[in-house]
Amino acid sequence: MFSSTKHSHTYSNNINFNNYKMNYSVELRRYTEDGDYIEDHYEFETRARAMEFGRLNRRHLYSILDYQGRDCDPKDITP
């Protein structure tokens, strides 16, 4: 992986990836007892849904990124 830190990726279900352009990505991190973390990613089409999901999961919220259809250079909109 990237370092000694363990990573796990979970992506949202029911997405047609053939016609789908990610607009917003929410990353949650749950820390383990030994200091590592589990990283979960969720993708949303609207800012409102991404922000609401982040608010509901604020305990583990790491970031909310605005891609607006871009593949790189997202804008960090984490509250």
pLDDT of 69: 73
**Residue 64 forms beta bridges with which residues?**
26
pLDDT of 28: 98
Burial class (CB within 10 angstroms; exposed 0-12, middle 13-18, buried 19+) of 20: exposed
pLDDT, tens digit only, all 79 positions of the chain: 322 233 344 444 444 444 556 799 999 999 999 999 999 999 999 999 999 999 999 999 999 999 987 878 999 999 9
* pTM of this prediction exceeds 0.75: no
pLDDT of 19: 54
Within the chain, where are the H helices? 47-56
